[in-house]
């Protein structure tokens, strides 16, 4: 288990590096294709650096705001607070900030940049539909994301993917409306310049897709580890197994669900029901491994 956590941290660092390189590639492509020169490169680098800084320190606030989460009152949601406190004592973790999402669909997510700056949010549907043991299993899963430092890269992905998509979209539109290099500039640059310009445009087009695929990889490989870590934290795998079975049987979709934050939740909040509009695409770009596989893995522990 500890070897897996160490490997997970190494993959997290690698993924953050890849995100940074992708942003840098987009910035370089923008600068070359549009032809702003050194000044343009400096402006784009400052924008990218500011966006990365904002992502690190404020991405959890963005995720909570997008989900319309509100602080959980300690009196009104005493069971929620008590279970988290007990699990934190058992796992040697500081207690995260606790939030509520007013939604009948059962679900939960964790966010933040480290255990000292973490937050856990659950829906009202989860509190209503799960018994104490099942709720404890779900909360242990989310706290495992905190303990395993999954929350940093998973939360950064929310804003980093958005930054890459916005930069690419803005400058492609800018080029379309006449902001690209003139024909004379392209000719003066020679064949190599033309090739580089084409590669720059291609990168601007595919960068959001690559960022999205990286986001999927981030989530999928961490859910199974969080399941195992959560079961280890409670020392009672049947609790989380029963919770996942309830989630599998429930087809309610979260009203505030977003593709940008889908990978944070314990189960994908997007509609995957056969026959529904967009369901096939949501299944194709699923942010989570199938619940059947997760349940099977827990039963084999």
Q: Which of 142, 223, 267, 300 is catalytic?
A: 142
Q: pLDDT tens digits, residue range 161-179? A: 777 777 677 676 666 665 5
More confident residue, 234 or 24: 234
Mean pLDDT of 66-75: 95
Q: pLDDT tens digits, residue range 16-36? A: 677 777 777 777 776 666 666
d(CA 121, CA 95): 13
Q: pLDDT tens digits, residue range 275-298? A: 544 555 555 556 678 899 999 999
Task: HSE, CB side, 13 Å, CA atoms: give it for residue 104.
Answer: 4
* Nearest alpha carbon to residue 122 among 231, 243, 249, 220: 243
In this prediction, residue 186 carries a pLDDT of 46
pLDDT, averaged across the chain? 79
In this prediction, residue 154 carries a pLDDT of 77
Q: Give the pLDDT band (50/70/90) at residue 196.
A: low
Contact between 101 and 120 under an 8 Å Cβ cutoff? The reply is: no
**Is position 300 annotated as part of the catalytic site?**
no
Q: Kindly tell me if the per-residue pLDDT of 128 is higher than 80.
A: yes
In this prediction, residue 33 carries a pLDDT of 66
Lowest mean pLDDT among 113-117, 198-202, 232-236: 198-202
The token pair that represents 240 in the structure block: 């989380």
List Cβ neighbours of 148 (8 Å cut-off, separation of 6 or more): 5, 8, 9, 222, 225, 226, 229
* Nearest alpha carbon to residue 298 among 247, 255, 257, 260: 247
Q: Kindly tell me if the per-residue pLDDT of 208 is higher than 90.
A: no
* pTM to 2 decimal places: 0.77
**Domains of the chain by start residue, with CATH:** 2-64+154-215 (no CATH), 68-151+218-299 (3.30.2010.10)
Q: Give the pLDDT band (50/70/90) at residue 4.
A: low
Number of residues written out for the chain: 301
């Amino acid at each position: 288990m500890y070897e897996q956590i160490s490997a997970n941290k190494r993959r997290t660092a690698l993924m953050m590096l890849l995100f940074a390189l992708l942003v840098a590639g987009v910035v370089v492509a923008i600068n070359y294709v549009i032809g702003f020169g050194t000044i343009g490169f400096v402006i784009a680098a400052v924008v990218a650096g500011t966006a990365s800084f904002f992502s690190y320190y404020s991405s959890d606030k963005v995720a909570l705001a997008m989900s319309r989460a509100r602080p959980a009152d300690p009196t009104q949601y005493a069971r929620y607070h008590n279970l988290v406190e007990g699990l934190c004592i058992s796992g040697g973790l500081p207690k995260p900030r606790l939030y509520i999402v007013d939604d009948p669909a059962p679900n939960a997510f964790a966010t933040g940049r480290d255990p000292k700056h973490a937050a856990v949010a659950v829906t009202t549907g989860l509190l209503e539909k799960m018994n104490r043991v099942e709720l404890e299993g779900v909360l242990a899963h989310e706290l495992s994301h905190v303990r395993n430092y999954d929350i940093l890269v998973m939360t950064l992905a929310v804003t980093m993917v958005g930054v890459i998509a916005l930069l690419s979209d803005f400058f492609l539109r800018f080029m379309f409306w006449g902001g690209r290099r003139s024909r004379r500039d392209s000719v003066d640059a020679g064949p190599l310049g033309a090739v580089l310009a084409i590669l720059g445009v291609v990168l601007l087009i595919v960068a959001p897709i690559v960022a999205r695929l990286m986001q999927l990889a981030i989530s999928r490989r961490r859910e199974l580890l969080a399941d195992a870590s959560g079961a280890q934290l409670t020392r009672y795998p049947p609790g989380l197994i029963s919770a996942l079975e309830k989630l599998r049987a429930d087809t309610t979709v979260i009203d505030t669900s977003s593709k940008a934050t889908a990978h944070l939740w314990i189960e994908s909040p997007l509609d995957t029901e056969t026959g529904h509009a967009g369901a096939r695409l949501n299944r194709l770009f699923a942010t989570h491994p199938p619940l059947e596989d997760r349940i099977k893995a827990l039963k084999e522990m």
